[in-house]
């Protein structure tokens, strides 16, 4: 137990123990063990993405928080593989979009096409009409095309020619992007980055994992052998269960204090938005549920703070010249912002 967790427990603000560890509560007349279901999903994905348990767990937390995930790293480290493995482990609709400079917004959202026989326009759904949308190399498309995702990521709907179409639930965008210094890339606008619940970097695998990959993938691709371990209906129930987790009032005030601290930081010219606070709390709920608890601890908030907040922040010119980065800024704020005690 960390110091912050102990402080909150001492204040008597955590929820009382329940009889079923890892069972958040009844949903549709049944009880769901989020931790057990999450472990099954993690095991399936880890058969494809080896040696990255923390990355896999973060991806699942974003899924259960009803958010979107941005995977950023250099080519060849498994960004698309993680996105595909997550999508394939769920028996739902999956669409993949390869973002290129000539991709049009209508390719993403859909377009109304004139039907000669009926003499009326018929809507042809685009690639976002799926439970999981894999947006590969999202920053290779122009900002105009990137903006086609803004409405669907925030409101789970698409508006074309004045007509609004609802998207299926669950709906999750798993986007990959190369570092901005790579050729042929466009930086994601602030509004686009703010709609991603979390950003994660894959990093290079350790030596043992890379050796295992060379042996196992010489003749077969484990992604082709991956079979679904759950379906879209089960994910909807898990999302509902995560939303029922108890969050103490001091912990909600702690989240707000962290978000406010980014706006006051002398190293930042753009702090976190109110949307960032909402998504931080949702991600913390999902993290707690995956750990088998029915209430959120400060540790859950702190574990998700960097992946949820850092990609939304902009450094001041002086901080950038000093080679500061937003991850370090968030880490420093976690060390200085106190956990609120109960009354």
Among 194, 229, 244, the domain boundary falls at 244
pLDDT for res 31:
67
pLDDT for res 261:
96
Co-location of 83 and 206 in the same domain: yes
Which residues constitute the domain of residue 79?
30-244
pLDDT for res 343:
54
Co-location of 16 and 125 in the same domain: no
Q: What is the pTM of this model?
A: 0.85
Flag residues of the chain having pLDDT under 70: 1-31, 180-183, 341-343
Place of tokens 């606070």: 277
pLDDT for res 118:
82
Between CA 271 and CA 282 the distance in angstroms is 19
Co-location of 214 and 122 in the same domain: yes
**Number of domains making up the chain:** 2
Q: What tens digit of pLDDT does each residue of 30-56 get? A: 567 899 999 999 999 998 888 889 999
Q: What tens digit of pLDDT does each residue of 249-283 get? A: 999 999 999 999 999 999 999 999 999 999 999 99
Between CA 78 and CA 271 the distance in angstroms is 30
pLDDT for res 342:
59
CATH number where 63 lies: 3.40.50.300
CATH number where 278 lies: 1.10.8.80
Co-location of 213 and 330 in the same domain: no
Co-location of 156 and 277 in the same domain: no
């Amino acid at each position: 137990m960390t110091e912050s967790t102990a402080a909150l427990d001492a204040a008597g603000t955590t929820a009382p123990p329940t009889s079923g560890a890892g069972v958040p509560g009844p949903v549709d007349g049944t009880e769901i063990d989020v931790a057990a279901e999450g472990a099954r999903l993690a095991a399936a994905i880890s058969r494809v993405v080896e040696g990255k348990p923390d990355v896999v767990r973060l991806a699942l937390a974003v899924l259960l928080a009803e958010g979107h995930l941005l995977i950023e790293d250099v080519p060849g480290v498994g960004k698309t593989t993680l996105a595909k493995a997550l999508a394939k482990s769920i028996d739902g609709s999956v669409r993949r979009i390869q973002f290129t400079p000539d991709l049009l917004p209508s390719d993403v959202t859909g377009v109304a096409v004139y039907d000669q026989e009926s003499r009326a326009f018929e809507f042809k759904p685009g690639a976002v009409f799926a439970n999981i949308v894999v947006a590969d190399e999202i920053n290779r498309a122009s900002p105009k095309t990137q903006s086609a995702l803004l409405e669907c990521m925030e409101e789970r709907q698409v508006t074309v020619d004045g007509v609004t179409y609802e998207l299926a639930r669950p709906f999750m965008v798993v986007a990959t992007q190369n570092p901005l210094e790579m050729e042929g890339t466009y930086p994601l606008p602030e509004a686009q980055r703010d709609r991603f619940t979390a950003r994660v970097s894959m990093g290079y695998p350790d030596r043992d994992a890379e050796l295992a990959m060379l042996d196992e993938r010489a003749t077969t691709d484990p992604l082709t052998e991956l079979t679904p371990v759950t379906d879209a209906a089960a994910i909807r129930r898990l999302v509902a269960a995560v939303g029922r987790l108890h969050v103490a009032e001091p912990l909600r005030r702690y989240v707000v204090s962290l978000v406010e601290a980014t706006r006051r930081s002398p190293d930042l010219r753009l702090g976190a938005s109110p949307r960032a606070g909402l998504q931080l709390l949702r991600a913390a709920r999902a993290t707690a549920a995956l750990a088998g608890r029915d209430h959120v601890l400060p540790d859950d908030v702190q574990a998700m703070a960097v992946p949820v907040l850092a990609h939304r922040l902009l450094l001041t010119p002086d901080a950038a010249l000093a080679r500061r980065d937003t991850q370090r800024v968030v880490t420093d704020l976690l060390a200085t912002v106190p956990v609120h005690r109960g009354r």
